[in-house]
Structure 1
Amino acid sequence: MQITDGSGLSVEDEATPRALVQLLAYERRAPAAERDAFWRSLPEVGNGLGRRMKGTAADGRLRAKTGTMRDVSALTGYVTTETGEELAFSILVNNVRRIREARRVQDLVGARLARFVRRAQK
């Protein structure tokens, strides 16, 4: 990951979904005050992400930051599954012709993650 200017507009800025998920996982291990402040700063489905994923399994269980620029759409954050497991995720879509379609796919994935149930290991 390389962050040059903090806005995401520099051609030198680089971030992969894996790096963003690792950053989110690191943040969840931070001291409680820092961790909780960061958590509360993320918009939640049903309360701050507009109509995105409202009425789905993600409603009230997904907190994420969105990002949109020309031909780029991002959704990165945390989701709590039906069984209470917390997952960090990042969906970055580049070179997209229709941002609306990218958001639709991101929302489908977010709702699907909220329904995720980890199989018991044998």
Structure 2
Amino acid sequence: MDGGTNEICALAGAPRSPWLSVRVLYSNILLAQHLGEMAYEDLCYMPNGGRALPTWERLFAPLVFGACGALKTAPLEFPPSLEETSLRRHIAEWLEELASTVALLRIPLVGCTATFASLPSIALLGAIKKA
């Protein structure tokens, strides 16, 4: 499947089967709840200044690559409503909480879509694996 969300919605709407059970979790909505709707919206519409990596990729890079991920990207210019240190802390907390919750469900196969950014999905899958 390469279309992302449409296929996930199609799977979720599929008839029940004894060999296939699909649960869909829209983690982006949970992140918006964790950060606050206005902060999330500000991030979604924040210009990336023509940089190679979009804002979401840049925010999640240190969570995927560690300290070296933060060093390879120029500083982001956040709107006045957002404070970078607090934002990164909230994202890390959200990631840990979500990964722990998913791990507790003991689902044998977990997948993510990456329609707009892949590093948040990679960070989430890595955190689930560690949980």
TM-score category of the 2 structures, normalised to the smaller one:
under 0.3
Taking structure 2 as the reference length, the TM-score comes to 0.25
Higher RCO, 1 vs 2 (CA within 8 Å, ≥6 residues apart) = 2
Greater fraction strand: 1
Choose 1 or 2 for highest CA Rg: 2
Greater fraction helix: 2
